[in-house]
Amino acid sequence: MTDTSATTLAGHGRPIAPSRGVLRPLGLDEVTITGGFWGDRQRVNGTALIQHCEEWVERIGWAGNFDAAVEGRMPGAHTGKSFADSDVYKLMEAMAWEIGRTGDAEMDGRFRALTARIARAQEPDGYLNTNFGRPGQAPRYSDLEWGHELYSYGHLIQAGIARARTTGEDEFVQIVRRVADHVCEAFGPDGIQSVDGHPEIEVALAEWSRYTGDPKYLAQARLFIERRGHGVLGDIEFGRSYFQDDVPVREATVLRGHAVRALYLTAGAVDVAVEDDDAELLDILRSQMSTTVARRTYLTGGMGAHHEGESFGLDHELPPDRSYSETCAGIASIMVHHRMLLATGEEGYGDLVERMLFNVVAASPAEDGRSFFYTNTLHQREPGAVPPPDVASPRASSSLRAPWFNVSCCPTNVARTFASLGAYLASVTDDGIQLHQYAPAMIATALGDGSAVALHVDTDYPRTGSIRVTVDETREEPWALTLRVPAWAEGATVAVAGSDAVAVPTGAHVVERSWAAGDVVELELPMQPRWTRPDPRVDAVRGSVAVERGPLVMALESVDLGTSVNDVIVRSDQPLVDHPAQFDGEVSVTVVPEAVADAPWPYANPAPSRSAGDARSVKLIPYYRWARRGPSTMRVWLPEV
């Protein structure tokens, strides 16, 4: 079904295709994940998760909103929030990447059917939204704070980019083109002098500009970014920091407010900085992100410490039991850091992407792809109730994975991320290939001189740290294979083409040589579990310790303990015992039961007394696996003796 005439269009198969930067991303036609941890998730995505989302947008009426709009049944028939359209679009982005990845003809038929329904709802001037502008509905752009019209367009445009760069120009891409032109007309220099309460249009327009080659879309993205932060939106109960309209992007020093909004805005700003070759803006954004990572990020890589406003907390305000850490914020943070990686070539960004993939994104969906975490707490104090499988959860912070949510941004975000995951694995330069994320994969691309280079990766990472790269096709001249050695992987070794393994430092390890087909590079990352302690300024977990194993944050779950996780403390003077054969690795620690008697007043000097029981061994599981065995309590940070 691929229209070969479209394969020459900019950025084929790539979610992002910057025109400059240190590294050039690869497309889904150049990288194929062939199995392993992420291959399993792509398989579940393609066979269940995406279809689950399709079923829900139908049963809950969000796809039907487009029909109701055409048939004159609005406003009464509208279902969902003002941004319900966006989840249909995000689902279609997932479908587009999946169709591009697998050629799934049935899914393509369903994509075209959805396209036809959406096309009918588009106004002659390009405007497209089921919640505004019809008799009885609020006028267009009358509620930029909460209406999400441009936010929804952003997801529509990203879906259009996915479709255009896989299948090619079709009716759906034409819808998107009309919307993008409409936005430039309505919000351009002579248009409405404001922005959307929820950023997302910026990152989408910047990429649409890359795809079309038309600078007017980039100019519009730049305009939205420069307008923001000057109080152009109305004040609201959470304050203007909630939608980043408190401080201009170039003057901000750290991310604040609603985490997903702040991160989508940053992703768009990185794109604009890269396309404009604006080193000053890129430096500002790098500084904002490094401060945000250093002071406002959970061990899992999760972002957002407040349930109120779904927002970042203050510096070091990272309560584990109130962590919001929305799945979408993890995905948005991956969008930002992957862009930074491509722009700078610095592998520390690859480390962050890996942390967020394994410990936020992978934690959200159930194994069967039919229920999800929206928030990702680091400490569940009480066992939750199992949500019914056929009811949308009214609460984002459901204590067990729910099939759908009244605000259901996360499931479709997981779907589009899994479908396009191959794009995060590797990149290319004129004289080399860089591996950033490790999964069994086949990679075939061309170096700067046009010579074909192909390799494949064998690994069962993260169960073990053995990564074997085989060169399948090469040019005669030397080129460089770069391997990311994560910051936690002290003692990693590399063996090249049968030579002895040598120790390599963390960071980017470059192997440059004349390759022959069949050459093998073996990277060995030490996976023995390790203790991790917090910056003492993170008050909420002071005196606690966590366990990590490779890229995985480990968690204690009451199912394995037989009692609440709140009733034990850990002996960090006792060894950690690795069990690599268990799933993706489990670790045993020694814990001591601790009982504290209730007192009428829980504060005293000396502190209320406690009694300790007998030490025993208990296993920790990878955090992403928690809550798969029914209601339980869980914690990542364990109080030390």
The residues that touch Zn ion, with contacts defined as CB under 5 A, are 326, 328, 409-410
Residue 136 has a CB neighbour count (10 Å cut-off) of 8
Smallest gap from residue 255 Cβ to Zn ion (A): 16
Smallest gap from residue 404 Cβ to Zn ion (A): 12
Report strand pairing: 520-524 vs 466-473.
antiparallel
Smallest gap from residue 328 Cβ to Zn ion (A): 3
Q: What is the 3-state secondary structure (H, E, C) of 162-187?
A: HHHCCCCCCHHHHHHHHHHHHHHHHH
Q: Are 157 and 180 in contact (CB under 8 A)?
A: yes
Closer of 53 and 74 to Zn ion (Cβ) = 53
Closer of 200 and 519 to Zn ion (Cβ) = 200
**Residue 140: strand, helix, or coil:** coil
Closest to 481 in 3D by CA, of 456, 458, 459:
456
Closest to 309 in 3D by CA, of 355, 244, 227, 222:
244
- 248 CB burial (10 A radius; 0-12, 13-18, 19+): middle
Q: Are 457 and 439 in contact (CB under 8 A)?
A: yes
Q: Which residues contact 324 (CB under 8 A, 6 or more apart)?
A: 259, 302, 304, 305, 306, 307, 310, 311, 375, 397
Smallest gap from residue 407 Cβ to Zn ion (A): 7
Closer of 335 and 426 to Zn ion (Cβ) = 335
Name the region of 450 (left: φ>0; alpha: ψ -120 to 50; beta: rest).
left
Smallest gap from residue 160 Cβ to Zn ion (A): 21
Closest to 489 in 3D by CA, of 402, 405, 549, 431:
549
Q: Which residues contact 71 (CB under 8 A, 6 or more apart)?
A: none
Closer of 200 and 326 to Zn ion (Cβ) = 326
Residue nearest to Zn ion (CB): 328
Smallest gap from residue 291 Cβ to Zn ion (A): 24
d(CA 60, CA 80): 8
Closer of 162 and 409 to Zn ion (Cβ) = 409
Closer of 11 and 301 to Zn ion (Cβ) = 301
Q: Are 323 and 302 in contact (CB under 8 A)?
A: yes
Closer of 406 and 563 to Zn ion (Cβ) = 406
d(CA 26, CA 12): 9
Closer of 198 and 635 to Zn ion (Cβ) = 198
Smallest gap from residue 39 Cβ to Zn ion (A): 24
Closer of 31 and 410 to Zn ion (Cβ) = 410
**Which tokens is 72 given?**
């004159």
Smallest gap from residue 85 Cβ to Zn ion (A): 15
Smallest gap from residue 374 Cβ to Zn ion (A): 6
Smallest gap from residue 325 Cβ to Zn ion (A): 11
d(CA 486, CA 435): 12
First to last CA, the chain: 62
Closer of 150 and 331 to Zn ion (Cβ) = 331
